[in-house]
Amino acid sequence: MKKKFMYMVGMVVLLSTTICQAQDATTGDNVPPYELNNLPKVDINKFQKNSDGAYVLFNGTSLEGWRGYNKEKVPGKWMIENGTLKFSSKGSGLTKEDGGDIIFAHDFQNFELEFEWKISHAGNSGVFFLAKEVKGQAIYISSPEYQLLDNENHPDAKQGVDGNRKSGSLYDMIPAKPQNGKPAGEWNKAKIVVNNGKVTHYQNGKKVVEYTIRTPEWTALLQNSKFSKEKWPLAFELLKNVGGESNSGVIGFQDHGDDVWLKNITVKVL
């Protein structure tokens, strides 16, 4: 009985992860191996649509469909507060282990993601998409990041190049222009469109960033960022082929240690 039980446990572990060995398509050089977690996903068709035909991912009352990145449940620091999805940097009885990024557990390919956000004083957060759950790695190793930031008070706003770490920007690669982010404590509207590799960022009703993934131009952007092949070979390889073979991945929001509020989170599948 014991031997049979151990065999069954081994099968569960094997099925829950996929071990990969990435290889640079140009040079043939291997990069460090990595494991993809195959954690439970949800059927998007079970979620309601709004009047615009977009799926409502967060309705202000339920966290159905959400869980932690590389986790099976929602981290304790993510909570519903007055109809918003809030990350709380502090909380009674909560520890660092109760934090971590949060994802909606469905792989999206071509879509329009819309949401509203506000950040605490000197706060920092981010939005991820087309992400894979890489065991032992942060979500941004495989995902572009739409930056959420208090531009006036967080030091990241003055780092990077030409404001490419301010709100609405493709983090550390393309600055949002015009930069129309609102101050800490005020609501911003965000929209991210992914359609056949073309990605567009909108902030407060304005198109602020545009790029196309999986192109020579995209690779050049990575090479001029903190995700370059020399600085971070695994991130470079995963981001160069963002979305993997399926060209899809999960949407997530970042725990950067600062309070952030989100509401009206919807996705229209294209």
Number of domains in the chain: 1
Q: What is the mean pLDDT of the chain?
A: 90
Q: What CATH number does residue 146 fall under?
A: 2.60.120.560
pLDDT value of position 13: 37
Domain-located, residue 34: no
Decide if 8 is inside a domain: no
Do the beta carbons of residue 188 and residue 116 sit within 8 Å?
Answer: yes
Q: Which domain holds residue 145?
A: 41-269
* Torsion sign, CA atoms 200, 84, 37, 54: negative
Would residue 76 count as lying in a domain? yes
Residue 16 included in any domain: no
| Average pLDDT value for residue range 80-100 | 86
Whether 1 maps to a domain, the answer reads no
* pLDDT score at 33: 84
144 falls in which pLDDT band (50, 70, 90)? very high
Lowest mean pLDDT of 32-46, 164-178, 203-217, 255-269, name the range: 32-46
At residue 129, does pLDDT exceed 60?
Answer: yes
In a domain, 166, yes or no: yes
| Prediction pTM value | 0.89
- 205, 189 contact by CB (below 8 A): yes
- Rounded to the nearest 5°, which phi and psi values hold at 27? -100, -20
CB-neighbour burial class of residue 14 (10 A; exposed 0-12, middle 13-18, buried 19+)? exposed
What separation in angstroms does the CA of 203 have from each of 14, 94, 114, 115, 116? Answer: 42, 33, 10, 10, 10
Query: Does 33 reside within a domain?
Result: no
